[in-house]
Structure 1
Amino acid sequence: MAERYHNYVDGQWTESETGETFETTNPAAPTDVVAEYERSSAADADAAVEAAAAAQDEWANTPAPDRGAILRETASILEGRKQELTTLLTREEGKAHAEASGEVQRAIDIFYYYAEKTRDLGGTVKSASGPQTTLYTVRGPVGVAGLITPWNYPIAIPAWKIAPALATGNTLVLKPAEVAPAVALELFEALDEAGIPDGVANVVTGFGATAGNAVVAHDDVDAVSFTGSGQVGQLVYDQATDDAKRVQTELGGKNPTVVSDSADVETAAEIVAGGAFGTTGQSCTACSRAVVHTDVYDEFVDAVVAEAEAIEIGPGDEYDMGPQVSEDELEGTLDYIEIAENEGATLETGGGQPEGDRFGDGHFVEPTVFTGVENDYRIAQEEVFGPVLTVLEVEEFDEALAVANDVQYGLSASIVTDDHSEAERFVREIEAGVAKVNEKTSGLELHVPFGGVKNSSSETWREQGDAGIDFYTIEKTVYDSF
C-alpha cells in the first residue's frame, strides 16, 4: 500500500482543505505507486505562511546555539534513517542507489554544518572615530522565507535552503516539487522529532501554480529562494521583486568541459562522462558540452563513447544509471535527440530507449553522444536535462573559451588540461559561477558559495556556506556611546 503524506503546518500533520490528493510513481516501474500527497490550495499555503509569521519573533529570540541543537538532532535522526531514505529516494526519483545515498548524506552533512555555524553568528567590531564609542554590527533574520525546490535533488536542495534559514532565526514554508516530495516530507518528520517549535518550519505539497504561487505572493513572506527551471524562475523573480522581497533563484545550465590538447584523453573522457551521465544527466551542473581540441578530438570521441557504452542502465537500486524521473522528462530528452539528428549532428552512441525485460515501461534512455555539432545548434545551446552529450571540435584555446562562453547560461564549467597557464586563464575568463580544473562540472562542496551568472541565476545571492547565512540575515550597524 502506498504511503500517505500530509502537510506539516504549525506543528501538525494536516490534510488539505481541498480534500484532493495526487500520487507519485516509481519511474523505473510506473505502475508502482510510491505515495499519495495533499493537493494543496492557495488557502493551505496561506495558512502555512501565517503559522510561520506567528512563530517568527519567538524563534528569532531563541539563542542561536539552541537553534543549532535542533539542527544537530535533525541531522542525527536523518543519519539513523539513511538507508530507508536512500531506498525511498531511489524508488520515487529514480536515482541510482549510490547517488541517492550520497544525496542523503549531503543533507545530513548540511544540517550538521549549519548546526555548528550557529555558534559563530555574531557580527564584527570596528574602530569608532570618537571616544567612548563602541562600533559594531549584528545580524538578524530576514523574517519568513518561502522556499520552492525541484525534484532532481529532493532532499539535498531543501536541506541547503532550510538549514541556514533556521540557523539564522528565520521561519519558513517549503513547497517541494510535486514529482518527488517524499524525502522532503521525511526531513520534516525529522525536524518535528527533533523538537522544532510549532510554526517555525512548515511544508505544503501540491502544484506550483496554486500552492507555490501563493507562498511567493503572500505579504508575510520576506524572502524567496527558488531552484528550478529558467522560465518559472523568471516568473518567481519578477513577482518577488515586484513585492520588494529578498529573492534568490538558481536555474538552468549548459555546462561545458574544455578538453585541452595537453589533457590525458582517457582521464578527460572519464571526467566528462561522469559529469554528463551521472544522475541520468538530471542535474543543473551536468556536463552537456565537451569542447575538445582538434589534436585529441578523435581519440576523445572514441574514449567517451566507450565510457557511455560501459554504463549499465536499469532500476536505480541495482544499476549504474537509473531512469528519467517522469514520462515528460523522457519525452523531452527524446525530442532533443531527434532535433539534434535533424540539425545534422552525428549520433555516435545511444539515442533511444533500451530494450529488455528489466526496463519494462520505465522511463529509461540510453547515454547519448553527438559529434559533428555546430555551436549554434539547439542541442548545443539549450538545456536538455537528460544524459545527452554534444562534442564540439575547436582548433585552439581561444576558440574553446569563446565556444564555452557562447551560451545564455553560466552555472558550472570545467577544463581538463596539463597546462597550468591554460587552467589559470580558464578560471579568469570562463563565464560561470563555478569553475573547475581537472574535475567534472557536477558535484559541489557544501561550505563554499554556489550560484551562476547570466540566465543561470538571478545573480543576487549565492547559496551554501557563509553565503547561505548572508541571504537569510540582515546586518545592523550599532553605535554604542555610553
Structure 2
Amino acid sequence: MPTEYDNYVDGQWIESERGGTFDVRNPANADEIVGAYQDSSRIDVETAVDAAVGAQESWRRTPGPERGSVLTATGDALEDRKTEATETLVREEGKTRSEAAGEVQRAIDIFRYYGQKARDLGGTAKAASGPATELYTKREPLGTVGLITPWNYPIAIPAWKIAPALATGNTLVIKPASAAPNSSRILFECLETAGIPDGVANLVTGSGREVGTPLAEHEDVDAVSFTGSTTVGTAVARAAATDLTRVQCEMGGKNPTVVMPSADLETAAEIVGVGAFGTTGQSCTACSRAIVHEEVYDEFLEALTDYAASLDVGPGLEDPDMGPHVNASELESTLEYVDVAREDGATLEAGGSRLTGGEYDDGYYVEPTVFSDVESEMRIAQEEVFGPVVAVLPVGDFDAAVAVANDVEYGLSASIVTHDLGQANRFVERVEAGVAKVNEKTTGLELHVPFGGYKGSSTNTYREQGDAGLDFFTSIKTVYMNYGGR
C-alpha cells in the first residue's frame, strides 16, 4: 500500500472531509505509486480558510524579524532534508537528479532571502507641505491569501509564493498541483519544524475544480497568486475579479531565441538546446522557437540537431541529460504536436517519437525533437507545447527576427545570441517579453529580481520574486501625522 499523506490545516495533519485519496505515480516507472493524497472538497477549503483567517491578527502583529526567523529556520530545515527532498521531487515530477537538486536549493535560498527581507519591511518618509507634520507610508499585509501552484516546479514555485506572503504578515492556504504535491508537503513539514504558528499556513490537496476554484472565489481570501496555463489562469483571474480580489497570474510562454550571424554557432546551439530540452521542456520559460538568420541557418540547424541527438534520456534518479514527461497526458500532448507540425508542413530533423524498449516502456519518455522549415503562422510556432520540442524558423534580417519573436500571444522570456552590441540593445528595447536575455538561455531566473510576462503570459498586475514579491502581498497606507496642533 502506498503511503497516505494528509492535508495540513490549523497546525494539524488531517484527512479530507470525505476521506478519499488520489494516487501519484513515478513518471519514470508508472507502476510505482509515489504516494496517496487527500482528494479534498470545498468543505476542506472552507476549514483551511477559516483557520487562516483566525490566525491573521496574531501573525500580522508578529514583528517582522520574528517572522523572518521562522522563514530562515524553514530554509535551514529544508537544507537538512535536501537529499530527501531532491529524490522526492525526481520521483513525483521526473526531473533529473541535478535539476531537482538545483530546484530544492533554490527553495532553500528563497526562504533565507525573504527571511532577511522581513527585517527590512517598511515604508518611505516624504517631506510634508506644512510645519509640524510628518508624511510617510507603511506596508500592511492583505490578510489571507490563496496560492495555486503548478507541477513543473513543485517546490520552487510554492516557495516563492509562500515566503513573501508570510514575510509580509499574511496567512495562507495553498493548493499544489495534483501531479506533484509531495514537495509542498515537505515544505510544510519544514515550516512546522521552524515553528510556524497554527493556522498561519495551510495545505489542501485536490483538484482544481474542487479546491482551486473555491479557493479563488472565497469571500475571505484577500488575494490569489496563480501559476499555470493561460486558460486556467484567465479563469482564476475572472473568478477573483467578481469581488475585486487582488490577483496575480503567471502563465504560458512561447519563448524565442534569436540567432544572428555574429554568434558562435556551437554556443548558440547549446544555448537553444539547454533552454529547449532542459527539464524536458516542461518550463514556462523553455525555448520553443529558434529564430535564425538565413546566412547561418543550415549550419545552426545541423549543430542543434547534433546536440539533440547527443542527449541521454532516462530515469531522473540516474541523472541523465533529460528525464521523462510528468505523466501520460503530457506525453500524449507533445506527440500530438509532433503530428500537427508534420501535417502543417514542418520538417522533422530529430526525435519526434516516444522512446520504447527496456526501462522506457515503464515511463513517459520522448525524444528531444527539432523541426525545421517552420513558418510563424504554424501551430508549432504559435502554441505552447510544454515538451522538448523546438521549432527553427529562418529570417532574412534582424528586424524580421524581432517581428517573428513578437508574433505570438505570449511574452514571457526571450533571448538573442549575438556579438553585435547594437543588435543586443535594440533587441532588449523591442522584444515583447517580461524577461530579455543576451547570450543566455531563456530559462533560469535570479530570485532577487522581478519575474513576469507580457501579453498572454501574465495578468500584467504584479511581478513575482525580489521586492516585487513583497509588493503583491502588501497594501500601502499613507500617513499624515500633524503633531503641532492647529
What range is the shorter-chain TM-score in? over 0.9
Residues 104-153 of structure 1, C-alpha deviations (whole Å, 9 max, x = no match): 00000000000000111011111111111111111000111100000000
Which amino acid in 1 is paired with 2:477? K
1:278-357 mapped onto 2 (5 Å cutoff): 278-318=278-318, 319-357=320-358
- Give distance in 1, aligned partners of 2:442 and 2:6: 37
Match of 2:80 in 1: 80
Quick check: 1:276 aligned with 2:259?
no
Quick check: 1:172 aligned with 2:172?
yes
1:354, distance to aligned residue in structure 2 (A): 1.8
- Give distance in 2, aligned partners of 1:126 and 1:373: 55
1:142-157 mapped onto 2 (5 Å cutoff): 142-157=142-157
Quick check: 1:466 aligned with 2:429?
no
Which amino acid in 2 is paired with 1:308? A
Which amino acid in 1 is paired with 2:335? L
Quick check: 1:64 aligned with 2:64?
yes
Which amino acid in 1 is paired with 2:74? T
Match of 1:369 in 2: 370
- Give distance in 2, aligned partners of 1:478 and 1:3: 53
SS in 2 for 1:73: helix
Which amino acid in 1 is paired with 2:36? E
- Give distance in 2, aligned partners of 1:78 and 1:174: 18
SS in 1 for 2:224: strand
Match of 1:426 in 2: 427
- Give distance in 2, aligned partners of 1:211 and 1:253: 25
1:356, distance to aligned residue in structure 2 (A): 3.0
SS in 2 for 1:360: helix
1:361, distance to aligned residue in structure 2 (A): 2.4
Which amino acid in 1 is paired with 2:94? G
- Give distance in 2, aligned partners of 1:422 and 1:358: 46
Match of 2:203 in 1: 203
Match of 2:412 in 1: 411
Match of 2:436 in 1: 435
- Give distance in 2, aligned partners of 1:163 and 1:142: 15
Which amino acid in 2 is paired with 1:134? E
1:376-391 mapped onto 2 (5 Å cutoff): 376-391=377-392
Match of 1:239 in 2: 239
SS in 1 for 2:304: helix
- Give distance in 2, aligned partners of 1:201 and 1:250: 22
Please give the root-mean-square deviation of Cα atoms over the aligned residues, in Å.
0.6
1:479, distance to aligned residue in structure 2 (A): 1.0
Match of 1:358 in 2: 359
Which amino acid in 1 is paired with 2:341? A
- Give distance in 1, aligned partners of 2:17 and 2:202: 16
Residues 134-176 of structure 1, C-alpha deviations (whole Å, 9 max, x = no match): 1111100011110000000000000000000000000000000
Match of 1:159 in 2: 159
Residues 175-202 of structure 1, C-alpha deviations (whole Å, 9 max, x = no match): 0000010010110010011110000000
Q: Which structure 1 residue ranges, 5 or more long, are not aligned?
A: none
1:358, distance to aligned residue in structure 2 (A): 2.4
Which amino acid in 2 is paired with 1:333? T
Residues 266-311 of structure 1, C-alpha deviations (whole Å, 9 max, x = no match): 0100000000000000000000000000011000000001111111
- Between the two proteins, the alignment pairs up a number of residues equal to 482
1:463, distance to aligned residue in structure 2 (A): 0.2
1:65, distance to aligned residue in structure 2 (A): 0.3
Match of 2:51 in 1: 51
- Give distance in 1, aligned partners of 2:404 and 2:20: 49
Which amino acid in 1 is paired with 2:386? F
1:19, distance to aligned residue in structure 2 (A): 1.2
- Give distance in 1, aligned partners of 2:64 and 2:201: 16
SS in 1 for 2:448: coil
Match of 1:400 in 2: 401
Residues 379-417 of structure 1, C-alpha deviations (whole Å, 9 max, x = no match): 000000000000000010000000000000000000000
- Give distance in 1, aligned partners of 2:307 and 2:460: 35
1:355, distance to aligned residue in structure 2 (A): 2.9
Quick check: 1:189 aligned with 2:177?
no
- Give distance in 1, aligned partners of 2:322 and 2:61: 46
SS in 2 for 1:474: strand
Residues 187-220 of structure 1, C-alpha deviations (whole Å, 9 max, x = no match): 0010011110000000100000011111111110
Which amino acid in 1 is paired with 2:470? I
Which amino acid in 1 is paired with 2:430? E
- Give distance in 2, aligned partners of 1:158 and 1:183: 9
- Give distance in 2, aligned partners of 1:126 and 1:154: 42
Which amino acid in 1 is paired with 2:437? K
- Give distance in 2, aligned partners of 1:354 and 1:249: 34
- Give distance in 1, aligned partners of 2:95 and 2:364: 12
Which amino acid in 1 is paired with 2:431? I
- Give distance in 2, aligned partners of 1:270 and 1:358: 27
- Give distance in 2, aligned partners of 1:265 and 1:217: 50
1:57, distance to aligned residue in structure 2 (A): 0.8
- Give distance in 2, aligned partners of 1:156 and 1:116: 18
1:2, distance to aligned residue in structure 2 (A): 2.4
TM-score w.r.t. length of structure 1: 0.99
1:317, distance to aligned residue in structure 2 (A): 1.0
Q: Percent identity?
A: 63
Which amino acid in 2 is paired with 1:258? V
Q: Which structure 2 residue ranges, 5 or more long, are not aligned?
A: none
Which amino acid in 2 is paired with 1:96? T
Quick check: 1:22 aligned with 2:33?
no
- Give distance in 1, aligned partners of 2:346 and 2:10: 54
SS in 1 for 2:108: helix
- Give distance in 1, aligned partners of 2:83 and 2:158: 19
- Give distance in 2, aligned partners of 1:211 and 1:266: 47
Match of 1:100 in 2: 100
- Give distance in 1, aligned partners of 2:251 and 2:81: 30
- Give distance in 1, aligned partners of 2:216 and 2:9: 17
SS in 1 for 2:386: coil
- Give distance in 2, aligned partners of 1:243 and 1:386: 36
Match of 2:132 in 1: 132
SS in 2 for 1:317: helix
Which amino acid in 1 is paired with 2:311? I
- Give distance in 1, aligned partners of 2:195 and 2:362: 42
